[in-house]
Amino acid sequence: MEKRVTLDTIIIDALRMDEGTAPIFMKAGMHCLGCPSASGESIAEACAVHGIDAGKLVEELNAYLASK
């Protein structure tokens, strides 16, 4: 089954899917992946807080996951 994330994917779930997603989040400016918010915030919610283009981040994450 192909691994994919959506705007609604909780950050910790994306990290559990593949730890290699961590550098992508970090590069985008999400540096506290271990904070409590990562366990409850969707990618869209976290991007809104950090001023990040959520659609672009989801595309990058899915491109990485598809390359595996």
Q: Within 13 A of 61's CA, how many CA atoms are on the CB side?
A: 28
pLDDT of residue 38: 79
Q: Which of 22, 66, 33, 28 is nearest to 50 (CA)?
A: 28
pLDDT of residue 42: 95
Query: What pTM did the predictor assign?
Result: 0.91
Residue 33 tokens, joined: 């992946």
pLDDT of residue 2: 82
Q: Which residue has the tokens 């990562």?
A: 38
- pLDDT > 90? residue 1: no
Sequence-ordered list of residues with C-beta below 8 angstroms from that of 9, at least 6 positions apart, any chain: 42, 43, 58
- Which residue type occupies 65? L
pLDDT of residue 18: 96
- Give 10-64 pLDDT, tens digit per residue: 999 999 999 999 999 999 998 888 888 778 899 999 999 999 999 999 999 999 9
Q: How many other β-carbons are positioned within 10 Å of the β-carbon of residue 58?
A: 20
Would you list the domain boundaries of the chain? Answer: 11-66
